[in-house]
């Protein structure tokens, strides 16, 4: 792949550095790698945020149930039934 092969312009040896295609080849591969990392983050990040938002929603719901019980809006049986349902989900 060395030399001035017109079939592989990115590996033409320009720059004469440590890497086979010189600085241009290194730059292109860095961009490809950065793009793959970006896509990986975009693909897997939504699942993580959904899990954390579900956990936050459950905690908020438990706090609401506690406040309703403290104000006397629900009785102890309803409170414990709500907690049981929230902790299962």
Q: Tell me which DSSP letter residue 72 carries.
A: T
pLDDT at 7: 52
Question: What is the mean pLDDT of the segment spanning 67-75?
Answer: 93
Retrieve residue 81's tokens.
């039934």
Question: What is the mean pLDDT of the segment spanning 14-40?
Answer: 78
pLDDT at 58: 82
54 or 19, which is more confident: 54
Band (pLDDT 50/70/90 cuts) for residue 70 is very high
Going from the C-alpha of 38 to that of each of 31, 35, 46, 50, the distances in angstroms are 10, 5, 13, 19
State which H helix or E strand residue 24 sits in.
Answer: helix 22-71
Band (pLDDT 50/70/90 cuts) for residue 74 is very high
């Amino acid at each position: 792949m060395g030399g001035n092969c017109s079939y592989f312009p990115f590996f033409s040896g320009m720059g004469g550095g440590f890497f086979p295609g010189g600085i241009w080849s290194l730059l292109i591969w860095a961009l490809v790698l950065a793009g793959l990392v970006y896509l990986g983050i975009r693909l897997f990040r939504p699942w993580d945020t959904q899990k954390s938002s579900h956990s936050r929603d459950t905690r908020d719901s438990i706090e609401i149930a506690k406040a309703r019980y403290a104000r006397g809006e629900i009785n102890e049986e309803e409170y414990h039934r709500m907690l049981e349902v929230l902790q299962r989900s």
